[in-house]
Amino acid sequence: MASIFSSLVPPLATAMPTWRAAGLRYYSYGHFLRRRFGFRVQKVSLDGGFTCPNVDGTVAAGGCTFCDNRSFSPSRRLPRWSIAAQLEEGIRRLKQRHDVDRFLAYFQPATNTYAPVPRLRALYEQALAHPKIVGLAVGTRPDCVPEDVLDLLAEMASRTYLSLEYGVQTIHDRSLDWMNRGHHHAASVDAIGRSRGRGFEICVHVILGLPFESREDMLATAREVAGWGVDAVKIHNLYAVKHTPLAEQVASGQVRLMERGEYVNVLCDFLELLPETCVVERVGGDAPPDYLVGPAWCLDKAGLRRALDEELLRRDSWQGKFFRPGA
């Protein structure tokens, strides 16, 4: 059955995309950023002090089954400084590791649209005021974007680069219930539909390897995401960090985490179904070693990327090979 967004998906390109001409097998985030800005850009993680509606009791309590914000957001592992101070420290650290001088302010931990518009505007504007910041990335949930927030983001996108990142995770309601998400798939369809055409980019997060999801379940998510025609996707393997319900489920044997070979195979299947125009911002998830329960292989990010490239080469395949508009 065709997606409700099928008519909005651009036709297959007739010319080879630039990333394939550059010898890549998927549309990497680094390739996109260099073409978009003309120079290297890195994200600086910022903690705006937000919570989530499934943490504060609005829709649920306890947060997502897999979530400890400290494990995936550097800014939440630091003292709660002002936005300006967080930017200075984040930029200092990134410049020690990379030859980079321009940055995106990334409001990362928790739900970064979950506040009244005046508070959101003040935080976003503080980040944009820094001379090294060339745009914003805002992570949120699909049930936390009322019209006035989308209007604010559209207004800001009219004068700077802005990417809105939705934690979709999966299209399957039973999996969303398992993770204590507090919303169902319909919220994602609604949010993406209302976000379209407002001038900012739309990125969705997806998790592969959720308990009780088969390969076909995961590829059903891929087909739906492809049909939405979003600008970017972040693909993560399910991993467990300490002091979470998921860590307990892994320890008791209730949940098995994917081996790297399994993950690479389904990741390639997923990429083959995405349109060539969709930027792939991430191909795996990881956590600091002192937080991680497993799988250990996700700490070897370079090894994962090599394994992905090798499998795509072995298949003689690439992102979009099996993408069909309207399918």
pLDDT at 69 over 80: no
Highest mean pLDDT among 14-28, 54-68, 116-130: 116-130
Percent of the chain exceeding pLDDT 70 equals 92
Token pair in block for residue 188: 């994602």
Average pLDDT, integer, range 115-142: 98
Strand, coil or helix: 93: helix
Structural contact between residues 115 and 152, judged by C-beta atoms closer than 8 angstroms: no
Q: Which residues contact 117 (CB under 8 A, 6 or more apart)?
A: 148, 149, 152
CA-CA distance, 117 to 146, in Å (whole number)?
A: 10
pLDDT at 8 over 70: no
Average pLDDT, integer, range 244-269: 97
pLDDT at 86: 96
pLDDT at 80: 72
Q: Which residues contact 62 (CB under 8 A, 6 or more apart)?
A: 54, 55, 180, 245
Length reported for the chain: 327
pLDDT at 10: 43
pLDDT at 77: 46
pLDDT tens for 282-323 read: 999 999 999 999 999 999 999 999 999 999 999 999 999 999
pLDDT at 201 over 90: yes
pLDDT tens for 23-58 read: 999 999 999 999 999 999 999 999 999 999 999 999
Structural contact between residues 203 and 165, judged by C-beta atoms closer than 8 angstroms: yes
pLDDT at 119 over 50: yes
pLDDT at 270 over 80: yes
CA-CA distance, 176 to 321, in Å (whole number)?
A: 29
pLDDT at 327 over 70: no
Structural contact between residues 154 and 200, judged by C-beta atoms closer than 8 angstroms: yes
pTM of the predicted model over 0.95: no
User: What is the Cβ-side half-sphere exposure of residue 254, based on CA atoms within 13 angstroms?
Assistant: 8
**Strand 232-237 relative to strand 201-208: parallel, antiparallel, unpaired?**
parallel
As beta bridge partners, residue 234 has 205, 282
Average pLDDT, integer, range 186-192: 98
Average model confidence (pLDDT) across the chain: 93
Q: Mind listing the domains of the chain with CATH numbers?
A: 6-315 (3.80.30.30)
pLDDT at 9 over 60: no
pLDDT at 13: 46
pLDDT tens for 83-102 read: 999 999 999 999 999 999 99
**Confidence band of 189 (pLDDT split at 50, 70, 90):** very high
pLDDT at 79 over 80: no
Q: Determine whether 305 is exposed, middle or buried from the number of CB atoms within 10 Å of its CB (0-12, 13-18, 19+).
A: middle
From the DSSP assignment, how many helices (H) and strands (E) are in the chain?
12, 9
CA-CA distance, 110 to 105, in Å (whole number)?
A: 15
**Confidence band of 81 (pLDDT split at 50, 70, 90):** confident
